[in-house]
Amino acid sequence: MIIKKGDILYQAWINVESDLKEKSTVEFSEYHVTTVNKTGIHLRQKCYSTYGKLSKKNGDFGWLPLSSYAREYCVHKFKDQEDFDKNGQGKFFKSKSGAYRGVLAEAKKYKKDASRILTQVEKAIDKHTKKK
């Protein structure tokens, strides 16, 4: 995926609440590409601490100065396009539906791994209990 300044990317994740309801939701984050140059590619998450009202003027919204919290948790930096392709591929998508499909594929992978491990544990238990 070729990244250009001004692109909007989405990231999705599954939020699992482990209370009695066993409720799961898919949540999205919106990232804007703010820098693409020799220093790298910078993505800034659009949230309450990074985007908001700049002044008292009507309709004056924009990117807020970054706090230390926002700099640490709301900005992703990649060295170049190759670094983004290697470390950002599968995490950031150009559409919400793409992000949803990515998180669904990841969930299926974890489900497959979990069932494989469960099968191995069951075999080990059966093997161990048959010896006695």
Report whether 49 contacts 73 (CB < 8 A): no
The pLDDT-based confidence of 63 (bands split at 50, 70, 90) is: confident
Is residue 3 situated within a structural domain? no
pLDDT digits (tens, 9 = 90+) for 100-130: 888 888 888 878 888 888 888 888 888 878 7
Domain range holding 51?
8-131
Domain for residue 1, yes or no? no
Any domain includes 2: no
Q: Taking 80 as the threshold, does the pLDDT of residue 53 lie above it?
A: no
92 domain-assigned: yes
In a domain, 91, yes or no: yes
Q: Residue 132's pLDDT is what?
A: 53
Q: What is the CA radius of gyration of the chain?
A: 21
| pTM score of the predicted model | 0.67
**Count of C-beta atoms within a 10 Å radius of residue 35:** 13
Report how many domains make up the chain. Answer: 1
25 beta partners: 15
| Separation between Cα atoms, residue 64 and residue 70, nearest integer Å | 10
Q: What is the pLDDT of residue 21?
A: 63
Asked if residue 108 belongs to a domain, the reply is yes
Q: Are strands 23-37 and 40-45 parallel, antiparallel or unpaired?
A: antiparallel
> Chain-wide mean pLDDT for the chain?
80
Mean predicted confidence (pLDDT) in 18-25: 67
